[in-house]
Amino acid sequence: MSGHLYASLKPEVILDAVESTGLRADGRLLALNSYENRVYQIGIEDAAPVVAKFYRPGRWSEAAIREEHAFALELAAEEVPVVAPLPDAAGETLHRHLGFLFALYPRQGGRTPDLEQRENLVRIGRFVARIHAVGRAGSFQARERLDAAERGEAARADVLASERLPFELESVYEDLSADVLERIVRRMQEAGPVPMIRLHGDTHPGNILWTDSGPHFVDLDDACTGPAVQDLWMFLSGAAEEMSAQMLALLEGYETFVRLDRRELALITPLRTLRILRHAAWLARRADDPAFVQAFPVFYTTRYWEEHILTLREQAAALDEPTLSLGV
């Protein structure tokens, strides 16, 4: 849905929504960095500020959001450091106001983790394993399954239907993206069946708030069912030997709790490539949202698509390379 709907999300509407949960706002309101949803820090009388997250209409079903909340609360109950939604006096975490679904969260400070520090990767691996220990204990019914063929084809369709893809690049993108998706699916099939569990789903460094006591995981908006390595590979970067060292550090912490099926290492490049396809489609779907126009100006240029096509060609070559080796 277009970001124009958010035009009705005025400060007074935001404050009224928060107060509808039984809290008393003191009038302070600060917009926080968020694109898919709208997120605000709200001052509360005689209490710490809260963070209000207004879900993008049509993005998730109410059932899917409730599963996200339930998973976060399960994790919090096991003392996994996630920022979980705050229940009201009736125990409700999902609220509705003037057509918007929203939730309130405690304010949590922190910084982006320094991934150059090996010990930080070890600690992150340990906490991801704890998320997965809870994830293995149940299942999602309403949330998505990380199906590469389905997600990849949907991404291609959204880009091809978008008016943002320059006409002169349409046939190049159509053929190249089809080839890349075929390689993704083949590589994942060649890896063989791996366990599918409940995941955070989007554990990039920006979704970790690092404090002196360690990490706090935020934003389970993309929680899904998928392979465990989905919550690990986004911490990898650089040349193959650098990524191998990073993965060894992650696994040192992760395997304190459970061993990662080594077949999942073959999924890293396919999952990375799938994310690249889906990111372009995400921008294409949200192209009319004023927040995206302001935040991603290069997307609206031919240069973006030329560089995206170049990246897909590089990923096509990477999908023919051997699986990441840990050297052990």
Catalytic positions, please?
Answer: 202, 219
Instruction: Report the run of H or E that residue 180 belongs to, with start and end.
Output: helix 170-191
Half-sphere exposure of residue 39, counting CA atoms within 13 Å on the CB side? 15
Which residues touch 310 (CB under 8 Å, ≥6 apart)?
none
Residue 195 in tokens: 């366990």
Instruction: Report the run of H or E that residue 158 belongs to, with start and end.
Output: helix 148-161
CA distance 30 to 297: 23
Give the residue among 76, 81, 85 at the shortest CA–CA distance from 106: 85
CA distance 29 to 19: 13
CA distance 27 to 38: 18
CA distance 170 to 243: 34
